[in-house]
Structure 1
Amino acid sequence: MSDKLDAALIVVNYNKLPYTRLCLESVLASAPTFAHIIAIDNGSTDGTRQWLEEDFPALAQARGVRVTVIANDSNVGACTARNQGLSVARERYIAFMDNDVCARTRRWLAFLAEALEASAGVGIAGPKLLFPFEPFCIEHAGVGISRSGRVKYLGRGEPRDAPGHQAARDVQALISACWLMKGEVPEQIGGLDEVFNPAQYEDLDFCYRARSRGWRIVYEPRAELYHFESVTTDGSPDVNYRYITIRNGLEFKRRWEHVFSREDGPADEECRWLALETRPIEVTGRPPMVD
Structure 2
Amino acid sequence: MPVLERVLTTNSPAARVSVLPGDGTDVSYSFVFVTFGTGAIVVDAIESVVRSMDASAATYEIVVVDNPHPEAPGTSRRELALSTRGVRVLVATHNLGFAGGCELGALHARGRYLVFLNPDVVVPDGWLEPLVSSVDAGASIAAPMLVHPGGRVQEVGARLDAGGGTHPWLDPAAVASGAAVPDYASAACWVMARDEHERLGGFDAGYFPAFYEDVDLALRAGASGGRIEIVSDVAVTHHRGSGSRRSNGPPDTSDQRDRLLATHPSIRWTRERRSSTNDW
Normalised to the residue count of structure 2, the TM-score between the two structures is: 0.78
Measured at CA, do residues 49 and 236 of structure 1 come closer, stay the same or move farther in structure 2, by a change above 3 Å?
Answer: farther
Tell me, yes or no, if structure 1 residue 19 matches structure 2 residue 41. Answer: yes
1:164 matched residue in structure 2: 174
Q: For 1:133-180, what per-residue CA distance to the aligned partner results, in whole angstroms no more than 9, with x for missing partners?
A: 2xx11111101112443211111xx6xxx6435568863111111111
The counterpart of 1:256, out of the listed 255, 264, 278, is 264
The counterpart of 1:60, out of the listed 84, 100, 104, is 84
Question: Higher mean Cα deviation, 41-50 or 188-197?
Answer: 41-50
How far residue 269 of structure 1 moved from its aligned partner, in angstroms, is 3.3
- Distance across 1 between alignment mates of 2:98 and 2:189: 13
- Which amino acid is 2:147 matched to? L
Measured at CA, do residues 38 and 167 of structure 1 come closer, stay the same or move farther in structure 2, by a change above 3 Å?
Answer: farther
Contact 2:38 2:244 in 1 (8 A): no
- Distance across 2 between alignment mates of 1:42 and 1:147: 33
Contact 1:36 1:67 in 2 (8 A): yes
Measured at CA, do residues 251 and 7 of structure 1 come closer, stay the same or move farther in structure 2, by a change above 3 Å?
Answer: same
- Distance across 2 between alignment mates of 1:5 and 1:110: 16
More helix by share: 1
1:83 matched residue in structure 2: 103
Normalised to the residue count of structure 1, the TM-score between the two structures is: 0.75
Q: For 1:94-145, what per-residue CA distance to the aligned partner results, in whole angstroms no more than 9, with x for missing partners?
A: 1111111111x3111111111112x23x110000100012xx1111110111
Contact 1:8 1:89 in 2 (8 A): yes
Contact 2:175 2:182 in 1 (8 A): no
2:210 matched residue in structure 1: 199
Q: Which runs of 5+ in 2 are unaligned?
A: 1-25
How far residue 77 of structure 1 moved from its aligned partner, in angstroms, is 1.4
Contact 1:170 1:217 in 2 (8 A): no
2:133 matched residue in structure 1: 114
- Distance across 1 between alignment mates of 2:177 and 2:88: 35
Q: For 1:220-269, what per-residue CA distance to the aligned partner results, in whole angstroms no more than 9, with x for missing partners?
A: 012211111112343357xx9633x011111111221315632xx67613
Tell me, yes or no, if structure 1 residue 227 matches structure 2 residue 238. Answer: yes
Q: For 1:26-55, what per-residue CA distance to the aligned partner results, in whole angstroms no more than 9, with x for missing partners?
A: 010114476011101112536421454xx4
Contact 1:40 1:70 in 2 (8 A): yes
- Which amino acid is 1:96 matched to? F
- Distance across 1 between alignment mates of 2:268 and 2:29: 31
- Distance across 2 between alignment mates of 1:271 and 1:21: 32
Q: Which runs of 5+ in 1 are unaligned?
A: 273-291
1:49 matched residue in structure 2: 77
Q: Percent sequence identity over matched residues?
A: 22
Tell me, yes or no, if structure 1 residue 242 matches structure 2 residue 251. Answer: yes
The counterpart of 1:130, out of the listed 125, 147, 152, is 147
How far residue 210 of structure 1 moved from its aligned partner, in angstroms, is 1.6
